[in-house]
Amino acid sequence: MKLNERGLLIVLSGPSGVGKGTVRKALFDMEGHDLVYSISMTTRPPRGDEVDGEDYYFVSKEEFERRIREDGFLEWAEFVGNYYGTPKDKVEAQLKQGKEVVLEIEVQGALQVREKTNDGVFVFIAPPSKEALYRRLLRRGTESNETIQKRMDKAEREFPIAHKYDYIVVNDEVTNAADRVLAIIRAEHAKTERSIHKYKELLGVDFSE
Amino acid sequence: MKLNERGLLIVLSGPSGVGKGTVRKALFDMEGHDLVYSISMTTRPPRGDEVDGEDYYFVSKEEFERRIREDGFLEWAEFVGNYYGTPKDKVEAQLKQGKEVVLEIEVQGALQVREKTNDGVFVFIAPPSKEALYRRLLRRGTESNETIQKRMDKAEREFPIAHKYDYIVVNDEVTNAADRVLAIIRAEHAKTERSIHKYKELLGVDFSE
């Protein structure tokens, strides 16, 4: 069932501290898939041994702004004077190769992607409870109480946005959560709307009825 | 994510010879689920050591016809003078207990169920090719060429009905197919429309927005 099949755009998103990154890593460690990580484009200069086209696509401010004008991003944002975004054409090229492109982004970015694409699969990674989220933010140990409180407030504003996603995966345990995401990917490929064309080819069926 | 959760009604269906039964058996042999098989109601008398409430619910013709009048079946049919059907109340009781109720039925029966319920998950089991289906029917070795041809003709009429199902699972290899069905069950539980209420409870989120 994988021959010449278009890949899926998987948007993993959720509040800060929920463990999107660890779920994504666990997902990539699993077998039986052809996942790739979407590479962002940025105007910030490369750091250390960062490689263009691997860590980021490094472009000039002019180039980035030209792409914005040409609607060339699934989502983009500006942070401390630099642009960051997900280039449409790069993602599209990977999807055409049959790769599942995983986008791990903030809630606001996911909402932008939602508006730009019809065939993304939107997964909201949720904490098992507010307390669990708070504990995770504390455990990072790098932030002030004030920053943690700000993140919690932001998370609470983002919780209700879950209803705009296709799936909600509670990150109770990282392997479970990644397992659920993998099940979602498999199920999405079996969805009739996605598989009917191949099925038609396999069986030579006429759906003119 | 399983506490007090309503089970799913999984309708496994497809043309005769496609291997619905073997996929269902492989599915039940897998771990990590709470699947039950829906028990049919029939007016035919018990055979051998068949047990009422285990193999079938054995009822009188009058009882069955009363249930038909009261819209008490998800689907029913008459075969050689006997009624067979899936009783709504029994299925509903199992779903409420959080069990996934698997219904393995013919295409016409599945279409009846589709009309009677909103929350079923409809999976069309498809052969990998027409030739493969033909070979499987031949391999049974119990039927005349004429019967096999009739089954093939019926299958060809049923192929296009796949577009009325939620998912198409090609039975290329039985473990693969059962694995895909299990992924579908897991993904369906994570669907926002199904999981949002529990999510709301977990996080105390107000979705009035």
Interface list for chain B against chain A, based on CB atoms closer than 8 Å: 1, 123-124, 126-130, 159-160, 162-163, 165-170, 172, 179-180, 182-184, 186-188, 190-192, 195-196, 199, 202-207, 209
Per-state percent for chain A, helix, strand, coil, to nearest 5: 45, 20, 30
Q: Using 50, 70 and 90 to split pLDDT, how confident is the model at B209?
A: very low
Q: What is the pLDDT along chain A (209 residues), one digit of tens a residue?
A: 445 688 999 999 999 889 999 999 999 999 877 899 999 999 999 999 999 999 999 999 999 999 999 999 999 999 889 999 999 999 999 999 999 999 999 999 999 999 999 889 999 999 999 999 999 888 877 778 898 999 999 999 999 999 999 999 999 999 999 999 999 999 999 999 988 888 888 888 766 54
Question: Torsions phi, psi of B120, nearest 5?
Answer: -75, 155
- Closest by Cβ to A183, choosing from B160, B168, B183: B183
Hunting for tokens 């929350």 — which residue is that?
A: B119
Cα→Cα distances B204→A128, A130, B4, Å: 11, 9, 17
Q: Which residue of B has its CA nearest to A163?
A: B192
Whether residues B192 and A126 touch (CB distance < 8 A) is answered with no
Whether residues B190 and A167 touch (CB distance < 8 A) is answered with yes
Whether residues B167 and A128 touch (CB distance < 8 A) is answered with no
Q: With contact defined as beta carbons under 8 Å apart, do A110 and A158 qualify?
A: no
C-alpha torsion sign, points B15, B191, B112, B37: positive
Per the DSSP assignment, residues forming a β-bridge with A104 are A12
Q: What is the pLDDT of residue B5?
A: 80
Q: What is the pLDDT of residue A199?
A: 87
- Reported as a single tens digit per residue, the pLDDT across B3-25 is 468 899 999 999 988 999 999 99
- What whole-number distance in Å separates Cα of residue A192 and Cα of residue B164? 8
Provide the b/e sequence for B49-78 (b: ≥16 CB within 10 Å).
eeeeeeebbbbeeeebeebeeeebbbbbee
Largest separation between any pair of C-alpha atoms in chain B: 64
Q: What 8-state DSSP symbol labels residue A90?
A: H
Query: What is the count of residue pairs from A and B with beta carbons less than 8 Å apart?
Result: 114
Q: What is the pLDDT of residue B28?
A: 93
Q: What is the pLDDT of residue A1?
A: 43
The full set of domains in chain B, from first to last, is: 9-38+99-203 (3.40.50.300)
Q: What is the pLDDT of residue A182?
A: 95
Structure tokens at A98: 């049959």
Q: What is the pLDDT of residue A46?
A: 94
Res. B144: pLDDT tops 50: yes
Q: What is the pLDDT of residue B2?
A: 46
Whether residues B186 and A183 touch (CB distance < 8 A) is answered with yes
Chain B CB contacts of A192 below 8 Å: 124, 162-163, 165-168
- What whole-number distance in Å separates Cα of residue A101 and Cα of residue A119? 12
